[in-house]
Amino acid sequence: MKLEESYIDVMGIRIRVARKPGTSKRPLLLFNGIGANIELLEPLMQSLKGIECVIFDMPGIGESEVSRFPMRLKGLVKLSVQILDHFNYGHVDVLGVSWGGAMAQEFAYRNPKRCCKLILAATSAGAIMVPGKPTVLMKLSNPKRYFDKSYLKDISQHIYGGQLRNDPDFMEQYTARVRPPKSTRGYWWQLYAASAWTSAHWLHKLKQETLILAGNDDPLVPIINARFLHSRIVKSMLVELDCGHLFLMTLMDEVSPLIHDFLNSSLISDETASVH
């Protein structure tokens, strides 16, 4: 099913939005990783049969216009709420991956009645996180990977780990979907938005049922960060995956049913599971 794309003006910025129709009682709002365009999460959305999905390119990323001034996560959450209002979405479930996981946490915290269920993938509590190796973080902070696909292929196995270490097919699938940001300014704005941000002091206040997904071979976000999130979020379940940072792509056949079942289930238990 082809995504329905549109461009809307939000807070004075032209934002590209994509939606996938579905029959679910609530739409799933997705927040992508840093510098990542809509196309990177499209396969996951398509795999979630019956789940209505909505996603947008962050300001300055993909096909969205760059904002004149940077915003913190609080401002970007406000922008996302206005996007939901534009399409008359009320209650939503929220999924955030990597940098988008911080967005998802902030959204859930600031909109406790609107956000029903929360999915956090390959992410952390922000500034207090246990970081990956400095060499990996240096490669991540360089937007060159979005403008030079040869460079991206050279470094992907080192920054993402998992199946990208030795499977050229996954590497090709990933790089084929990458679109360069509108400008490097959009990428720097995203780095600024999450700089010095942390959810550690209010994670225990989150009331949403939360599914936490993490790879045990993630050079960017070591799995200990997911275990910390699990220890602090009251109604949470942690699933540890035998994979790297991009498991939403490389383990999609295993992860998609987990997400689908979680969104359609009743209360979850406080537990940890493993998928190999």
Distance CA 227, CA 230 (A): 5
DSSP 123: -
DSSP reduced 3-state for 37: coil
Residue 54 near residue 30 (C-beta atoms within 8 A): yes
Catalytic residue among 98, 124, 156, 199: 98
DSSP reduced 3-state for 77: helix
Phi, psi of 265 (to 5 degrees): -100, 170
Q: Mark whether 98 is an active-site residue.
A: yes
Distance CA 262, CA 268 (A): 8
DSSP β-bridge partners for residue 212: 120, 238
Q: Specify the amino acid at residue 250.
A: T
Burial of 103: CB neighbours in 10 Å, binned 0-12, 13-18, 19+? buried
**Which ranges constitute the DSSP H helices of the chain?**
42-47, 73-86, 99-110, 134-141, 144-147, 149-160, 168-177, 184-194, 224-232, 247-250, 252-263
Positions marked active-site: 98
